[in-house]
Structure 1
Amino acid sequence: MEDFIKLNDGSMMPRLGQGTWYMGEDTRKRADEITSLRFGIELGMTLIDTAEMYGEGLSEELIGEAISDVRRENLFIVSKVYPHNAGRRNIFNSCKKSLDRLGTDYLDMYLLHWRGRVPLSETVACMEELKKEGLIRNWGVSNFDTDDMEELLSVPFGANCRVNQVLYNLGSRGIEYDLLPFMRSNGMATMAYCPMAHDRHSRKKIAENAVVKEISSKYGITPEQLMLAFVLSNEGVCALPKASSPEHVRQNAAAIDIRLTPEDLDMLAVHFPSPKRKMTLDML
Protein backbone atom coordinates (compact mmCIF):
# COMPACT_ATOMS: atom_id res chain seq x y z
CA MET A 1 0.00 0.00 0.00
CA GLU A 2 1.31 3.42 -0.91
CA ASP A 3 1.94 5.79 1.99
CA PHE A 4 0.68 8.74 -0.06
CA ILE A 5 -2.33 9.65 -2.17
CA LYS A 6 -1.71 11.59 -5.37
CA LEU A 7 -4.16 14.49 -5.48
CA ASN A 8 -5.72 15.73 -8.71
CA ASP A 9 -3.17 18.56 -9.02
CA GLY A 10 -0.27 16.10 -8.82
CA SER A 11 0.66 16.91 -5.20
CA MET A 12 0.99 14.16 -2.62
CA MET A 13 -0.98 13.77 0.61
CA PRO A 14 -0.09 11.26 3.36
CA ARG A 15 -2.51 8.34 3.51
CA LEU A 16 -2.50 8.15 7.31
CA GLY A 17 -2.65 11.15 9.62
CA GLN A 18 -3.51 12.28 13.13
CA GLY A 19 -6.84 13.70 14.26
CA THR A 20 -6.95 16.29 17.04
CA TRP A 21 -10.61 16.95 17.91
CA TYR A 22 -10.88 17.78 21.65
CA MET A 23 -7.11 17.94 21.99
CA GLY A 24 -5.73 21.05 23.67
CA GLU A 25 -8.87 21.62 25.73
CA ASP A 26 -7.66 20.05 29.00
CA THR A 27 -4.44 21.57 30.33
CA ARG A 28 -3.81 18.44 32.42
CA LYS A 29 -3.46 16.40 29.23
CA ARG A 30 -1.39 18.94 27.30
CA ALA A 31 2.05 17.39 27.82
CA ASP A 32 0.83 13.90 26.93
CA GLU A 33 -1.01 15.16 23.85
CA ILE A 34 2.09 16.97 22.60
CA THR A 35 4.18 13.87 23.21
CA SER A 36 1.68 11.73 21.28
CA LEU A 37 1.61 14.12 18.31
CA ARG A 38 5.40 14.30 18.15
CA PHE A 39 5.70 10.52 18.40
CA GLY A 40 3.19 10.14 15.59
CA ILE A 41 5.26 12.44 13.41
CA GLU A 42 8.37 10.39 14.19
CA LEU A 43 6.50 7.26 13.06
CA GLY A 44 5.53 8.87 9.75
CA MET A 45 2.06 10.23 10.50
CA THR A 46 2.98 13.71 9.31
CA LEU A 47 -0.53 14.75 8.28
CA ILE A 48 -2.16 16.56 11.19
CA ASP A 49 -5.82 17.57 10.99
CA THR A 50 -7.40 20.35 13.01
CA ALA A 51 -9.97 23.16 12.76
CA GLU A 52 -10.64 26.61 14.15
CA MET A 53 -13.70 25.01 15.78
CA TYR A 54 -11.66 22.54 17.83
CA GLY A 55 -11.53 24.17 21.24
CA GLU A 56 -12.02 27.52 19.49
CA GLY A 57 -8.39 27.42 18.40
CA LEU A 58 -6.90 25.52 21.35
CA SER A 59 -6.21 22.47 19.15
CA GLU A 60 -4.31 24.63 16.66
CA GLU A 61 -2.27 26.18 19.49
CA LEU A 62 -1.41 22.73 20.82
CA ILE A 63 -0.29 21.58 17.37
CA GLY A 64 1.75 24.75 16.97
CA GLU A 65 3.71 23.83 20.08
CA ALA A 66 4.04 20.18 19.05
CA ILE A 67 5.48 21.00 15.60
CA SER A 68 7.66 23.93 16.62
CA ASP A 69 10.88 21.94 16.19
CA VAL A 70 9.81 20.00 13.07
CA ARG A 71 10.84 21.03 9.55
CA ARG A 72 7.70 22.51 8.01
CA GLU A 73 8.25 20.90 4.63
CA ASN A 74 8.03 17.48 6.30
CA LEU A 75 4.48 18.13 7.52
CA PHE A 76 1.04 18.21 5.91
CA ILE A 77 -1.16 20.51 7.99
CA VAL A 78 -4.94 20.61 7.49
CA SER A 79 -7.33 23.07 9.13
CA LYS A 80 -10.95 24.01 8.62
CA VAL A 81 -12.94 27.24 8.54
CA TYR A 82 -16.32 27.65 10.20
CA PRO A 83 -19.17 27.98 7.65
CA HIS A 84 -20.07 31.41 9.02
CA ASN A 85 -16.48 32.52 8.44
CA ALA A 86 -16.27 31.08 4.92
CA GLY A 87 -17.23 34.28 3.09
CA ARG A 88 -15.20 37.26 1.90
CA ARG A 89 -15.84 39.20 5.11
CA ASN A 90 -14.15 36.72 7.47
CA ILE A 91 -12.26 33.92 5.72
CA PHE A 92 -8.97 35.73 5.23
CA ASN A 93 -8.84 36.75 8.88
CA SER A 94 -9.87 33.26 9.98
CA CYS A 95 -7.12 31.68 7.91
CA LYS A 96 -4.46 34.05 9.25
CA LYS A 97 -5.55 33.43 12.84
CA SER A 98 -5.26 29.68 12.25
CA LEU A 99 -1.79 30.18 10.81
CA ASP A 100 -0.76 32.30 13.80
CA ARG A 101 -1.97 29.67 16.26
CA LEU A 102 -0.21 26.92 14.32
CA GLY A 103 2.97 28.97 14.00
CA THR A 104 3.23 28.40 10.26
CA ASP A 105 3.13 30.51 7.11
CA TYR A 106 0.80 28.25 5.13
CA LEU A 107 -1.66 25.37 5.29
CA ASP A 108 -1.27 22.37 3.04
CA MET A 109 -5.06 22.00 2.97
CA TYR A 110 -7.86 24.33 4.08
CA LEU A 111 -11.37 22.92 4.32
CA LEU A 112 -14.86 24.35 4.55
CA HIS A 113 -15.98 22.52 7.71
CA TRP A 114 -19.60 22.01 6.57
CA ARG A 115 -22.23 23.67 4.40
CA GLY A 116 -23.48 27.04 5.60
CA ARG A 117 -25.30 30.05 4.22
CA VAL A 118 -22.33 31.53 2.35
CA PRO A 119 -22.69 30.72 -1.37
CA LEU A 120 -20.23 28.06 -2.50
CA SER A 121 -19.14 30.31 -5.36
CA GLU A 122 -18.00 32.94 -2.84
CA THR A 123 -16.14 30.45 -0.67
CA VAL A 124 -14.41 28.89 -3.68
CA ALA A 125 -13.35 32.30 -5.00
CA CYS A 126 -11.87 33.15 -1.59
CA MET A 127 -10.07 29.80 -1.40
CA GLU A 128 -8.49 30.49 -4.78
CA GLU A 129 -7.35 33.91 -3.55
CA LEU A 130 -5.82 32.33 -0.45
CA LYS A 131 -3.89 30.02 -2.78
CA LYS A 132 -2.62 32.94 -4.85
CA GLU A 133 -1.50 34.70 -1.66
CA GLY A 134 0.44 31.59 -0.64
CA LEU A 135 -1.49 31.16 2.60
CA ILE A 136 -2.78 27.74 1.56
CA ARG A 137 -1.47 25.17 -0.90
CA ASN A 138 -4.84 23.55 -1.60
CA TRP A 139 -8.42 23.52 -0.39
CA GLY A 140 -11.29 21.12 0.05
CA VAL A 141 -14.53 20.55 1.90
CA SER A 142 -15.86 18.49 4.80
CA ASN A 143 -19.21 16.83 5.47
CA PHE A 144 -20.35 17.24 1.84
CA ASP A 145 -22.72 14.63 0.43
CA THR A 146 -22.95 13.78 -3.27
CA ASP A 147 -25.46 16.50 -4.11
CA ASP A 148 -23.26 19.05 -2.34
CA MET A 149 -20.26 17.90 -4.37
CA GLU A 150 -22.25 18.14 -7.60
CA GLU A 151 -23.21 21.71 -6.75
CA LEU A 152 -19.60 22.50 -5.86
CA LEU A 153 -18.38 21.28 -9.24
CA SER A 154 -20.91 23.53 -10.96
CA VAL A 155 -19.34 26.77 -9.67
CA PRO A 156 -16.21 28.40 -11.18
CA PHE A 157 -13.03 26.65 -10.00
CA GLY A 158 -15.07 24.17 -7.96
CA ALA A 159 -13.16 21.36 -9.63
CA ASN A 160 -10.06 22.60 -7.80
CA CYS A 161 -11.43 20.93 -4.68
CA ARG A 162 -8.90 18.29 -3.69
CA VAL A 163 -10.58 16.41 -0.82
CA ASN A 164 -13.81 15.83 1.07
CA GLN A 165 -13.48 14.90 4.74
CA VAL A 166 -16.36 12.77 6.00
CA LEU A 167 -17.18 10.25 8.72
CA TYR A 168 -16.29 6.76 7.51
CA ASN A 169 -15.55 3.51 9.28
CA LEU A 170 -16.44 -0.17 9.28
CA GLY A 171 -19.69 0.51 11.12
CA SER A 172 -20.61 3.50 8.98
CA ARG A 173 -20.20 2.63 5.29
CA GLY A 174 -22.90 4.85 3.78
CA ILE A 175 -20.49 6.80 1.55
CA GLU A 176 -19.67 3.63 -0.38
CA TYR A 177 -22.99 3.71 -2.23
CA ASP A 178 -22.50 6.93 -4.19
CA LEU A 179 -20.24 9.51 -2.54
CA LEU A 180 -17.02 7.50 -2.57
CA PRO A 181 -17.45 6.44 -6.22
CA PHE A 182 -18.27 10.06 -7.11
CA MET A 183 -15.09 11.29 -5.43
CA ARG A 184 -13.00 8.71 -7.25
CA SER A 185 -14.57 9.42 -10.64
CA ASN A 186 -13.73 13.10 -10.22
CA GLY A 187 -10.18 12.46 -9.07
CA MET A 188 -10.73 13.73 -5.53
CA ALA A 189 -9.50 12.13 -2.33
CA THR A 190 -11.63 11.24 0.67
CA MET A 191 -10.44 11.91 4.22
CA ALA A 192 -12.05 9.65 6.84
CA TYR A 193 -12.61 11.07 10.29
CA CYS A 194 -13.56 8.72 13.14
CA PRO A 195 -12.08 5.78 11.17
CA MET A 196 -12.39 3.56 14.25
CA ALA A 197 -16.02 4.53 15.04
CA HIS A 198 -17.30 7.77 16.52
CA ASP A 199 -17.95 6.73 20.14
CA ARG A 200 -16.84 4.11 22.63
CA HIS A 201 -20.08 2.14 22.41
CA SER A 202 -19.88 1.81 18.62
CA ARG A 203 -16.18 0.96 18.74
CA LYS A 204 -16.72 -1.68 21.44
CA LYS A 205 -19.58 -3.24 19.46
CA ILE A 206 -17.35 -3.59 16.39
CA ALA A 207 -14.34 -4.79 18.41
CA GLU A 208 -16.38 -7.55 20.06
CA ASN A 209 -17.77 -8.89 16.78
CA ALA A 210 -16.72 -12.50 16.27
CA VAL A 211 -15.42 -12.00 12.72
CA VAL A 212 -13.47 -8.89 13.73
CA LYS A 213 -11.89 -10.91 16.53
CA GLU A 214 -11.12 -13.81 14.18
CA ILE A 215 -9.40 -11.68 11.54
CA SER A 216 -7.56 -9.63 14.16
CA SER A 217 -6.27 -12.81 15.77
CA LYS A 218 -5.14 -14.16 12.40
CA TYR A 219 -2.88 -11.15 11.84
CA GLY A 220 -1.91 -10.64 15.47
CA ILE A 221 -3.39 -7.14 15.54
CA THR A 222 -5.95 -5.33 17.66
CA PRO A 223 -9.57 -4.90 16.51
CA GLU A 224 -8.90 -1.16 16.33
CA GLN A 225 -5.99 -1.75 13.96
CA LEU A 226 -8.28 -3.90 11.83
CA MET A 227 -10.84 -1.09 11.69
CA LEU A 228 -8.14 1.32 10.57
CA ALA A 229 -6.77 -1.16 8.02
CA PHE A 230 -10.28 -1.52 6.59
CA VAL A 231 -10.52 2.23 5.92
CA LEU A 232 -7.02 2.33 4.47
CA SER A 233 -7.81 -0.58 2.14
CA ASN A 234 -10.03 1.76 0.11
CA GLU A 235 -8.49 3.47 -2.90
CA GLY A 236 -8.09 7.23 -2.50
CA VAL A 237 -9.00 7.28 1.19
CA CYS A 238 -6.91 8.90 3.90
CA ALA A 239 -7.57 8.05 7.57
CA LEU A 240 -7.36 10.42 10.54
CA PRO A 241 -7.26 8.40 13.77
CA LYS A 242 -6.79 10.14 17.09
CA ALA A 243 -4.53 8.68 19.79
CA SER A 244 -4.13 9.59 23.44
CA SER A 245 -1.09 7.50 24.33
CA PRO A 246 2.23 6.50 22.70
CA GLU A 247 1.08 2.86 22.46
CA HIS A 248 -2.08 3.87 20.60
CA VAL A 249 0.03 6.04 18.32
CA ARG A 250 2.32 3.09 17.60
CA GLN A 251 -0.64 0.84 16.83
CA ASN A 252 -2.18 3.42 14.51
CA ALA A 253 1.07 3.91 12.62
CA ALA A 254 1.49 0.15 12.15
CA ALA A 255 -1.93 -0.13 10.48
CA ILE A 256 -0.54 1.28 7.23
CA ASP A 257 1.29 -2.02 6.69
CA ILE A 258 -1.67 -4.32 7.30
CA ARG A 259 -2.94 -5.97 4.12
CA LEU A 260 -6.48 -7.28 4.24
CA THR A 261 -7.37 -9.88 1.62
CA PRO A 262 -10.55 -9.87 -0.49
CA GLU A 263 -11.67 -12.81 1.66
CA ASP A 264 -11.19 -10.75 4.82
CA LEU A 265 -13.24 -7.93 3.37
CA ASP A 266 -15.98 -10.31 2.27
CA MET A 267 -16.18 -11.76 5.80
CA LEU A 268 -16.43 -8.29 7.29
CA ALA A 269 -19.13 -7.32 4.80
CA VAL A 270 -21.39 -10.09 6.07
CA HIS A 271 -21.59 -8.41 9.46
CA PHE A 272 -20.95 -4.82 8.34
CA PRO A 273 -22.51 -4.66 4.87
CA SER A 274 -21.91 -1.99 2.29
CA PRO A 275 -25.21 -0.14 1.62
CA LYS A 276 -27.51 -1.18 -1.21
CA ARG A 277 -29.29 2.20 -1.29
CA LYS A 278 -28.60 5.86 -0.70
CA MET A 279 -27.91 6.62 2.97
CA THR A 280 -28.04 9.93 4.82
CA LEU A 281 -24.50 11.21 5.30
CA ASP A 282 -23.28 10.48 8.83
CA MET A 283 -21.93 13.60 10.52
CA LEU A 284 -20.65 14.64 13.93
Structure 2
Amino acid sequence: MKIFKWFSISDLALGTWKMGGGFWQADYSNDQNDIKAIKRAIELGITAIDTAEMYGNGHAEELVGKAIKDFKRDDLFIITKVWPNHARYEDTIKSAIASSKRLGTYIDLYLLHWPSEVPICETIKAFEDLVDRGIIRFFGLSNFKWKEIEKAKECLRKYEIVAVENHYSLWDRSDEDTLNYANKNGLLYLSYTPIEKGRIASDKILVEMGKKYNKTPIQIAINWYIQIPSLVPIIKSSNVKHLEENIGALGWSLTKEDWNKISESYK
Protein backbone atom coordinates (compact mmCIF):
# COMPACT_ATOMS: atom_id res chain seq x y z
CA MET A 1 0.00 0.00 0.00
CA LYS A 2 1.30 3.44 -0.95
CA ILE A 3 0.36 6.21 1.47
CA PHE A 4 0.15 9.79 0.27
CA LYS A 5 -0.88 13.02 1.94
CA TRP A 6 -4.42 12.74 0.59
CA PHE A 7 -5.14 9.01 0.28
CA SER A 8 -3.78 5.47 0.28
CA ILE A 9 -3.64 3.29 -2.82
CA SER A 10 -2.67 -0.30 -3.58
CA ASP A 11 0.87 -0.90 -4.83
CA LEU A 12 -0.54 -1.91 -8.22
CA ALA A 13 -3.37 -0.47 -10.28
CA LEU A 14 -5.44 -2.42 -12.78
CA GLY A 15 -5.69 -0.86 -16.23
CA THR A 16 -8.76 -1.32 -18.42
CA TRP A 17 -7.60 -0.12 -21.84
CA LYS A 18 -9.06 -2.45 -24.50
CA MET A 19 -11.59 -3.81 -21.99
CA GLY A 20 -15.04 -3.14 -23.45
CA GLY A 21 -13.65 -1.87 -26.74
CA GLY A 22 -11.01 0.51 -28.03
CA PHE A 23 -10.73 4.11 -29.10
CA TRP A 24 -14.25 5.54 -28.63
CA GLN A 25 -15.75 2.26 -29.86
CA ALA A 26 -17.54 -0.27 -27.66
CA ASP A 27 -17.13 -4.03 -27.91
CA TYR A 28 -19.41 -6.23 -25.78
CA SER A 29 -18.01 -9.61 -26.85
CA ASN A 30 -15.72 -10.16 -23.86
CA ASP A 31 -17.74 -8.47 -21.11
CA GLN A 32 -18.09 -11.42 -18.75
CA ASN A 33 -14.41 -12.27 -18.90
CA ASP A 34 -13.43 -8.64 -18.34
CA ILE A 35 -15.75 -8.32 -15.34
CA LYS A 36 -14.34 -11.57 -13.95
CA ALA A 37 -10.79 -10.25 -14.35
CA ILE A 38 -11.58 -6.98 -12.59
CA LYS A 39 -13.22 -8.83 -9.70
CA ARG A 40 -10.27 -11.22 -9.41
CA ALA A 41 -7.81 -8.35 -9.38
CA ILE A 42 -9.69 -6.78 -6.47
CA GLU A 43 -9.76 -10.10 -4.62
CA LEU A 44 -6.00 -10.31 -5.08
CA GLY A 45 -5.54 -6.87 -3.52
CA ILE A 46 -5.38 -4.59 -6.58
CA THR A 47 -7.96 -2.11 -5.36
CA ALA A 48 -6.98 0.78 -7.65
CA ILE A 49 -8.68 0.61 -11.06
CA ASP A 50 -7.75 2.90 -13.93
CA THR A 51 -10.15 3.61 -16.78
CA ALA A 52 -11.27 6.48 -19.04
CA GLU A 53 -14.32 7.78 -20.88
CA MET A 54 -12.51 7.10 -24.17
CA TYR A 55 -12.02 3.39 -23.46
CA GLY A 56 -14.75 1.65 -25.41
CA ASN A 57 -16.69 4.92 -25.56
CA GLY A 58 -17.42 4.60 -21.86
CA HIS A 59 -18.09 0.88 -21.86
CA ALA A 60 -14.94 0.14 -19.86
CA GLU A 61 -16.36 2.34 -17.11
CA GLU A 62 -19.60 0.37 -17.28
CA LEU A 63 -17.67 -2.87 -16.84
CA VAL A 64 -15.83 -1.45 -13.83
CA GLY A 65 -19.16 -0.35 -12.37
CA LYS A 66 -20.59 -3.85 -12.71
CA ALA A 67 -17.47 -5.51 -11.29
CA ILE A 68 -17.19 -3.40 -8.13
CA LYS A 69 -20.77 -3.87 -6.94
CA ASP A 70 -19.83 -6.84 -4.76
CA PHE A 71 -17.04 -5.00 -2.94
CA LYS A 72 -16.88 -2.39 -0.21
CA ARG A 73 -16.63 0.93 -2.02
CA ASP A 74 -14.38 2.57 0.57
CA ASP A 75 -11.74 -0.09 -0.10
CA LEU A 76 -11.50 0.87 -3.77
CA PHE A 77 -9.76 3.70 -5.60
CA ILE A 78 -11.39 4.41 -8.96
CA ILE A 79 -9.50 6.49 -11.50
CA THR A 80 -10.95 7.76 -14.76
CA LYS A 81 -10.04 10.37 -17.33
CA VAL A 82 -11.64 13.09 -19.43
CA TRP A 83 -10.59 13.35 -23.08
CA PRO A 84 -8.97 16.68 -24.10
CA ASN A 85 -11.80 17.59 -26.50
CA HIS A 86 -14.02 17.72 -23.40
CA ALA A 87 -11.68 20.03 -21.49
CA ARG A 88 -13.98 23.06 -21.63
CA TYR A 89 -15.63 23.82 -18.28
CA GLU A 90 -19.15 22.66 -19.15
CA ASP A 91 -17.92 19.66 -21.13
CA THR A 92 -15.69 18.53 -18.27
CA ILE A 93 -18.59 18.75 -15.85
CA LYS A 94 -20.83 16.75 -18.23
CA SER A 95 -18.13 14.14 -18.85
CA ALA A 96 -17.50 13.61 -15.14
CA ILE A 97 -21.21 13.22 -14.42
CA ALA A 98 -21.54 10.73 -17.29
CA SER A 99 -18.50 8.75 -16.11
CA SER A 100 -19.83 8.69 -12.57
CA LYS A 101 -23.18 7.34 -13.80
CA ARG A 102 -21.50 4.61 -15.84
CA LEU A 103 -19.35 3.66 -12.85
CA GLY A 104 -22.35 3.82 -10.55
CA THR A 105 -20.35 5.72 -7.95
CA TYR A 106 -18.19 8.76 -7.29
CA ILE A 107 -14.75 9.07 -8.86
CA ASP A 108 -11.72 8.95 -6.55
CA LEU A 109 -9.26 10.46 -9.02
CA TYR A 110 -10.20 12.37 -12.18
CA LEU A 111 -7.50 13.12 -14.74
CA LEU A 112 -7.24 15.22 -17.87
CA HIS A 113 -6.17 12.48 -20.29
CA TRP A 114 -3.87 14.61 -22.46
CA PRO A 115 -2.93 18.29 -22.69
CA SER A 116 -5.58 20.29 -24.52
CA GLU A 117 -5.83 23.48 -26.53
CA VAL A 118 -8.32 24.63 -23.89
CA PRO A 119 -6.62 26.84 -21.28
CA ILE A 120 -5.70 24.56 -18.38
CA CYS A 121 -7.22 26.95 -15.86
CA GLU A 122 -10.67 26.38 -17.36
CA THR A 123 -10.36 22.62 -16.82
CA ILE A 124 -8.92 23.04 -13.34
CA LYS A 125 -11.89 25.25 -12.39
CA ALA A 126 -14.23 22.46 -13.49
CA PHE A 127 -12.22 19.92 -11.49
CA GLU A 128 -12.47 22.02 -8.34
CA ASP A 129 -16.21 22.48 -8.78
CA LEU A 130 -16.60 18.72 -9.30
CA VAL A 131 -14.88 18.15 -5.94
CA ASP A 132 -17.33 20.58 -4.33
CA ARG A 133 -20.23 18.66 -5.89
CA GLY A 134 -18.94 15.34 -4.56
CA ILE A 135 -18.66 13.82 -8.03
CA ILE A 136 -14.89 13.46 -7.73
CA ARG A 137 -12.61 13.35 -4.69
CA PHE A 138 -9.27 14.35 -6.24
CA PHE A 139 -7.90 15.39 -9.61
CA GLY A 140 -4.70 15.30 -11.58
CA LEU A 141 -3.17 15.22 -15.05
CA SER A 142 -2.10 12.58 -17.54
CA ASN A 143 0.67 12.83 -20.13
CA PHE A 144 1.87 16.10 -18.63
CA LYS A 145 5.52 16.98 -17.98
CA TRP A 146 6.57 18.50 -14.68
CA LYS A 147 6.80 22.04 -16.07
CA GLU A 148 3.24 21.72 -17.37
CA ILE A 149 2.11 20.54 -13.95
CA GLU A 150 3.75 23.59 -12.38
CA LYS A 151 1.89 25.83 -14.82
CA ALA A 152 -1.40 24.08 -13.97
CA LYS A 153 -0.75 24.66 -10.27
CA GLU A 154 -1.00 28.40 -10.89
CA CYS A 155 -4.71 27.86 -11.61
CA LEU A 156 -5.51 26.25 -8.26
CA ARG A 157 -7.82 28.09 -5.90
CA LYS A 158 -9.16 25.48 -3.44
CA TYR A 159 -7.52 22.11 -3.93
CA GLU A 160 -4.30 20.48 -5.05
CA ILE A 161 -3.17 18.45 -8.02
CA VAL A 162 -2.47 15.08 -6.43
CA ALA A 163 -1.38 12.80 -9.28
CA VAL A 164 0.12 12.44 -12.72
CA GLU A 165 -0.26 9.44 -15.04
CA ASN A 166 2.46 9.06 -17.69
CA HIS A 167 4.26 6.38 -19.64
CA TYR A 168 7.28 5.07 -17.76
CA SER A 169 9.09 1.76 -17.97
CA LEU A 170 12.56 0.29 -17.73
CA TRP A 171 12.63 0.49 -21.53
CA ASP A 172 11.56 4.13 -21.60
CA ARG A 173 12.76 6.29 -18.72
CA SER A 174 12.48 9.56 -20.62
CA ASP A 175 9.93 10.83 -18.08
CA GLU A 176 12.39 10.57 -15.20
CA ASP A 177 12.27 14.32 -14.56
CA THR A 178 8.52 14.19 -13.98
CA LEU A 179 8.86 11.07 -11.82
CA ASN A 180 11.49 12.82 -9.69
CA TYR A 181 9.19 15.83 -9.46
CA ALA A 182 6.39 13.58 -8.21
CA ASN A 183 8.69 11.99 -5.64
CA LYS A 184 9.87 15.38 -4.42
CA ASN A 185 6.37 16.86 -4.20
CA GLY A 186 4.53 13.85 -2.81
CA LEU A 187 2.39 13.28 -5.91
CA LEU A 188 1.13 9.90 -6.98
CA TYR A 189 2.86 8.86 -10.20
CA LEU A 190 0.82 6.30 -12.14
CA SER A 191 2.94 4.51 -14.73
CA TYR A 192 1.13 3.08 -17.73
CA THR A 193 2.57 0.32 -19.96
CA PRO A 194 5.32 -0.45 -17.40
CA ILE A 195 5.95 -3.97 -18.70
CA GLU A 196 5.66 -2.95 -22.36
CA LYS A 197 2.82 -5.39 -23.08
CA GLY A 198 4.87 -8.25 -21.65
CA ARG A 199 7.79 -7.81 -24.04
CA ILE A 200 10.09 -6.81 -21.21
CA ALA A 201 9.95 -10.41 -19.94
CA SER A 202 12.58 -11.46 -22.47
CA ASP A 203 15.25 -9.08 -21.14
CA LYS A 204 18.36 -10.97 -20.04
CA ILE A 205 19.00 -8.94 -16.88
CA LEU A 206 15.44 -9.60 -15.62
CA VAL A 207 15.62 -13.29 -16.54
CA GLU A 208 18.88 -13.71 -14.61
CA MET A 209 17.58 -11.73 -11.62
CA GLY A 210 14.43 -13.87 -11.66
CA LYS A 211 16.51 -17.01 -11.26
CA LYS A 212 18.18 -15.51 -8.21
CA TYR A 213 14.86 -14.66 -6.51
CA ASN A 214 12.84 -17.55 -7.95
CA LYS A 215 10.56 -15.01 -9.60
CA THR A 216 9.49 -14.32 -13.17
CA PRO A 217 11.08 -11.44 -15.11
CA ILE A 218 7.76 -9.59 -14.96
CA GLN A 219 7.69 -9.93 -11.17
CA ILE A 220 11.24 -8.60 -10.96
CA ALA A 221 10.34 -5.57 -13.08
CA ILE A 222 7.18 -4.79 -11.11
CA ASN A 223 9.05 -5.11 -7.82
CA TRP A 224 11.62 -2.65 -9.13
CA TYR A 225 8.85 -0.15 -9.91
CA ILE A 226 7.03 -0.41 -6.61
CA GLN A 227 10.17 0.39 -4.66
CA ILE A 228 10.03 3.91 -6.12
CA PRO A 229 8.16 5.89 -3.42
CA SER A 230 5.57 7.69 -5.56
CA LEU A 231 5.17 5.16 -8.38
CA VAL A 232 2.20 2.84 -8.83
CA PRO A 233 2.45 0.75 -12.01
CA ILE A 234 -0.74 0.15 -14.00
CA ILE A 235 -0.94 -3.44 -15.16
CA LYS A 236 -3.62 -4.68 -17.55
CA SER A 237 -4.73 -8.24 -18.07
CA SER A 238 -7.97 -10.09 -18.64
CA ASN A 239 -6.02 -13.28 -17.93
CA VAL A 240 -6.35 -14.40 -14.30
CA LYS A 241 -3.07 -16.32 -14.51
CA HIS A 242 -1.25 -13.15 -15.51
CA LEU A 243 -2.95 -11.20 -12.71
CA GLU A 244 -1.73 -13.77 -10.20
CA GLU A 245 1.78 -13.49 -11.64
CA ASN A 246 1.65 -9.72 -11.15
CA ILE A 247 0.60 -10.16 -7.52
CA GLY A 248 3.69 -12.33 -7.06
CA ALA A 249 5.72 -9.14 -7.33
CA LEU A 250 4.41 -8.07 -3.91
CA GLY A 251 5.38 -9.14 -0.40
CA TRP A 252 9.15 -9.18 -0.94
CA SER A 253 11.83 -6.74 -2.08
CA LEU A 254 14.85 -6.64 -4.30
CA THR A 255 17.98 -5.84 -2.34
CA LYS A 256 19.26 -2.29 -2.72
CA GLU A 257 22.24 -3.67 -4.62
CA ASP A 258 20.06 -5.56 -7.10
CA TRP A 259 17.64 -2.65 -7.47
CA ASN A 260 20.60 -0.41 -8.35
CA LYS A 261 22.00 -3.03 -10.71
CA ILE A 262 18.73 -3.11 -12.67
CA SER A 263 18.54 0.68 -12.62
CA GLU A 264 22.04 1.06 -14.04
CA SER A 265 21.40 -1.61 -16.68
CA TYR A 266 18.45 0.31 -18.18
CA LYS A 267 19.82 3.83 -18.26
Is the contact between residue 168 and residue 231 of structure 1 (CA under 8 Å) also seen in structure 2?
no
**Matching of residues 74-85 of structure 1 within 5 Å:** 74-85=75-86
Q: Deviation of residue 270 (structure 1)?
A: 3.9
Deviation at 1:27, TM superposition (A): 3.0
- Residues 40-67 of structure 1: CA distance to partner in whole angstroms, max 9, x if unpaired? 1011111110000111111111111111
Cross-structure match for 1:185: 184
Tell me: CA distance 1:158–1:180, structure 2 relative to 1, closer, same or farther (3 Å): farther
Write 1 or 2 for the structure with the bigger share of strand.
2
Check conservation: 2:13, 2:235, Cα contact below 8 A: yes
Look up the equivalent residue of 1:23 and give its one-letter code.
M
Deviation for aligned residue 1:83: 1.1
Distance (Å, rounded) in 2 between the aligned partners of 1:266 and 1:182:
20
Unpaired stretches in structure 2, ≥5 consecutive residues: 22-26
Count of equivalent residues? 262
Query: Which whole-Å CA distance do the structure 1 matches of 2:184 and 2:49 have between them?
Result: 26
Whole-Å separation in 1 of the counterparts to 2:189 and 2:175: 10
Task: Give me the TM-score of the superposition, normalised by structure 2.
Answer: 0.93
Contact residue 128 and residue 158 of structure 2 kept, 8 A: no
Match of 1:166 in 2: 166
Q: Distance in 1 between matches of 2:73 and 2:50?
A: 15
Distance 2:266 2:184 in 1: 25
Mapped partners of 2:230, 2:201: distance in 1:
25
Computed over aligned residues only, the root mean square deviation of the Cα atoms, in angstroms, reads 1.6
Give the structure 2 partner of residue 4 of structure 1: 2
Which residue of structure 1 aligns with residue 28 of structure 2? 27
Q: Deviations over 1:63-88 (max 9, x none)?
A: 11111222211211000001111221
Q: Identify unmatched segments of 5+ residues in structure 1.
A: 274-284
Q: Distance in 1 between matches of 2:77 and 2:91?
A: 24
Are the equivalent residues in 2 in contact too, given 1:124–1:157 (CA < 8 A)? no
How far is the alpha carbon of 1:28 from its aligned partner? Answer: 3.2
- 1:49 alignment counterpart: 50
Deviation at 1:15, TM superposition (A): 2.4
Q: For 1:163, what is the secondary structure of its paired residue?
A: strand
Aligned position for 1:278: none
Would you say the 8 A contact 1:152–1:159 is kept in 2?
no
Contact 1:232 1:238 survives alignment (8 Å)? yes
Q: Deviation string for 1:93-145 (max 9, x for gaps)? A: 111111111111x1010001010011111111111100011111111110001
Q: Which residue of 2 aligns with 1:279?
A: none
Per-residue Cα deviation, 1:5-58 (whole angstroms, up to 9, x for no partner): 31x3x3222221100001012433222211111011011111110000111111
CA pair 222-157 structure 1, distance change in 2 beyond 3 A: farther
Query: How far apart, CA to CA, are the structure 1 residues paired with 2:160 and 2:112?
Result: 13
**Do 1:190 and 1:236's aligned partners in 2 also have CA atoms closer than 8 Å?**
yes
Q: Identity across aligned pairs (percent)?
A: 35
Superposed displacement of residue 186, structure 1: 2.1
Contact 1:16-1:256 at 8 Å conserved across structures: no
Partner amino acid for 1:17? Answer: A
| Map 1:151-230 → 2, pairs under 5 A | 151-157=151-157, 160-176=160-176, 178-197=177-196, 199=197, 203-204=198-199, 206-230=200-224
Instruction: Pick the aligned partner of 1:13 from 9, 14, 32.
Output: 9
* Cα pair distance change 1:144/1:159, threshold 3 Å: farther
- Structure 1 residue 158 displacement after superposition: 8.5
Tell me the distance in 2 between the aligned counterparts of 1:225 and 1:157: 41
1:240 aligns with 2:238: no
Residues 128 and 159 in structure 2, CA contact (< 8 A), matched pair in contact too? no
**How big is the shift at 1:209?**
2.4
1:102 and 1:153 map into 2 onto residues whose CA distance is: 28
The Cα of 1:160 is off from its aligned counterpart by: 0.3
Amino acid of the residue matched to residue 145 of structure 1?
Answer: K
Task: Output aligned runs, 1:131-150, within 5 Å.
Answer: 131-150=131-150
**8 Å CA contact retained: 2:39, 2:67:** yes
SS of aligned partner of 1:108: strand
User: What residue is the counterpart of 1:277 in the other structure?
Assistant: none
Please, what TM-score do these two structures have when normalized by structure 1?
0.87
Q: Distance in 2 between matches of 1:187 and 1:266?
A: 22
C-alpha distance 267-187 of structure 1, shift in aligned 2 (>3 A): closer
